Structure 1
Amino acid sequence: MDIFEDLAPQGNRPEYTVSELSGAVKRVIEGEFGLVRVRGEVGRVSRPSSGHLYFDLKDDRACLAAIAWKGQAARMQVRPEEGMEIVATGRMTTFPGQSKYQLIVEDVVPAGAGALMAMLERRRAALQAEGLFDPARKKPIPYLPGVIGVVTSPSGAVIRDILHRLRDRFPRRVLIWPVAVQGQACAPEVAAAIRGFNALPGDGSVPRPDVIIVARGGGSLEDLWGFNEEIVVRAAAESRIPLISAVGHETDTTLIDHAADLRAPTPTAAAELAVPVRLDLLAAVADLAARQGRAVAAGVERRGQRLRDLSRALPRPEALTGAAAQRLDLWAGRLSGALGLMVARKRGAFDRAGGGMRPDLLLRLLSRRADGLAAAGGRLADRAGRALERRHLGFDKWASRLAPALARLLAEADRTGRKGRADLAVLAGRLEAAPRRRLADLARRLEQVDRTRQTLGYAETLKRGFAVIRGDGHVVTSREEAARAAVLEAEFRDGRLPLGQGAAPAPRKPKPGGDGGQGSLF
């Protein structure tokens, strides 16, 4: 027996290597499908730098990978775009490196709009007819928001790009609402995030954003389909907070872009649209401050120069005031003589008027006026009290001092005629009216003082529900004074009421054998 003998049983089935099997499959597929025409909807399209064109052909049940080499893609009159329905002509082959089959496309002709694109267009037209895409509904984006809300995936590169861009331009507070940006959960979570930001109270513990950014990176039409759902579009249109849409790359367009207040081509561009550049603002403020300083200095200089120009056209102050000063000196010199002459004339007229006065008439007149004055003084004394009595006595003294002067006037008036008597009558009338006016004025002032006393007095305050507390005959204004007083008394609007003893006496020691230590309350 050979020690190297193979003990495994030998069969009749051939053994293939992986390469042999892959080559056999390749020959079968290429032999059976040498040239085919395939109709389907274009899925994800990729154009790498090599110039080749990679895309998917799909229907509702299957997906076929397709390749157009650089030369073939250059000769195509129609370039496949995502969502188009086309008829591709080519040959089937395999790619052993990934164990898949694919179509090498040689020519492409359009076959109409794809099912997804047709559905998307119908949805867009229906929502636009409702007015959700009306430009009049769009709200302005705040120039410098205090809080920015971002609706995106917290684990993707999008949020890092947004935060990095905000930190470079103008750091702001950012609230992230994590959502799924692809798949069946994408649409309801994005709509809930938009409505959740709008439901935050303005003065709550979590600040309400001033602007919302809905962001996602690029992808195929299927990857971005969640942002085409009606629930997301309606949530974006109903948002009271301004909303920026940044879904996909610049060439990607979703329905949320039409409903948003502003569309950004990329998430990074959304951050740039949300905030200005802080350094640019500082430079602009510095420039404006410098311009303001230069403008103020220039304005002051222009006005100073204008003032100097106008001052040269004005006459000298001495020329303006010289003539007036000379006239003043002239009239000042004439004034003293004119005053003396006027006094002399008035004295002569007074002497002529007083020469015709009769002493007996003046005395009878003074007697009647004195009697009337005494009666009026008595009535005033009854109303005014001591104050009016003092004023009446002062008036009597004044009248007594006036009598000799009037007597002298009467003596001189006896030498005058009718004109002097007429002047005397005028003077007598004025003398008769003067006491009445004086007494009426004093009575009016007394009434005013009495009304003021009644208004400001404490009696009016008592009528409004207050009381005055007195202790030992004095008004008490504090608790300590009330405690020290022996007797307290309260005054109300209708009378006084004793309150009893004020401070409690010092406690006395109980008498032995008394009432068991129970002292008197008083």
Structure 2
Amino acid sequence: MNQDSPQTNAIEWSVSELSGALKRTLEDSFGYVRLRGEISGYRGPHSSGHVYFSLKDQSAKIDAVIWKGSFSRMRFKPEEGLEVIATGKITTFPGKSSYQIIIDSLEPAGVGALMALLEERKQKLAAEGLFAAERKQALPYLPEVVGVVTSPTGAVIRDILHRLQDRFPRRVLVWPVRVQGEGSAEEVAAAIRGFNSISGMDGIPRPDVLIVARGGGSIEDLWGFNEEIVVRAASESAIPLISAVGHETDWTLIDYVADVRAPTPTGAAEMAVPVRSELLATVNNLSARHGETLLRLVDRRRTELRSAARALPQPDMFLAIPRQRLDLATAKLKPALATNLRSFETKLSQLQNVLQRFSPAAQISKIAGQFDAIGDRPHDALLRLFEQKKRALTQSVERLNAARGTLLRAESQRISQQGDILRKTAERVPAAMAQLLTRKAERLASLVQLFDSLNYKSVLSRGYALVRDASGVPVRFAANTMSGQGLQLEFADGAVAVTVNGDHADEPQVEPVPVVPKPSVADVPPPPRKVTPTKTSGGNSSQGSLF
């Protein structure tokens, strides 16, 4: 043993043991924490899929790691310079003798959060096709009316009006809105839709181009132009729209959806109208060039005409061949006419022969010969037909006479039989009617007895009375009456009116009122039915009648 080494009771640690002890102590003391800081040194995922960067603030920095599995599940991805809130576990890295945070979740904070929200909204609207180039409209070259959506008190509107006046004076319609703060997005969207709703029929002209303008500012100041309501209003605008929000480095979502983005409000005015003096110079230059071009064109056409005239042959050369053809045709014309005449004469002769065969005189002669051949045959045929019809008619008359006698005998016999049946029926009718009347009388008597048994007046005849109130409704219980109430008592021989006096336990005092008694239905005897015999038309029997 070296006698010069100092003696101590301190525990001897290895580097690995000390690193492990520090790791356990740090993890046990802190565990999961939430850190707010700015992302620094972010270079994207490593080849292994893990992500390495640092979180820093104004005075400190801590290394951060996101493992591959956690990174794939994150909805919000880290970006350089973003301020975020990280949730994870504090641990150590023994290889560098440093501590770090293993991040499980990440969310934006502050301006970084706004940037993340802006990026998410931008991707959403781009997926809907609002930023597509084919949706953008071309600006009119020289608009008659320019609509401006901006604050009426800022320097922006003065810059736009001054620039328009310098370049090409046009009529300007200003829709005053707030360009930052609460409610600014709704006012800008309403202004864009309001300009598009102008029909021009009420004296206010419809703008040919719109300028949405605002001066520079922070992302919070310009946030109203990142709202979805403004972007959708700009995408729905049928009027070409120029976005001039902020400075040249400031980008908002309305810049992506606008038909044209201007770096500044002054630049928007320059895009809206051309320079009048330049336009006049251009028109004058084009007019001069047009005149010179026409002169050169006339000279060139004159030269071409002269060259074409020199290349044309002489007029006699044009007429020589047609004249020769005319001479040859003249020589051939006379023989052709003679041949044609002979051909027509032959055809005429043939037609004459055909007409002679079919002439009216030939047709009449032919028909007269046919009549002579017929002779008296039609007359003889008519006489024979007349005799046949006469014999047939005579036979029909004889058959009809025979059938008529047979039919008369049959009808006489049938009438005699029907008369016998009618007489027998008339003999049975009085007895049948008497039996029917007897059954009906018995049925009526039984119904009268049943009515008497069911009639409530039969109960009244046994000493009962029916109590009704003033409206004629029956009163069933004494509890339903009250003192002074008028009642009506109906007996078998009549009705009396009474008045209730005192409590229900007391008997009501009866004040009789003479009432004419109504006769009971049971007391009225049925009218007698009388049967009077009458003679029938035949005189052989009598029949009862109810009348």
Fold match, TM over 0.5?
no
TM-score band (shorter)?
0.3 to 0.5
Query: RCO greater where, 1 or 2, for CA within 8 Å and sep 6 or more?
Result: 1
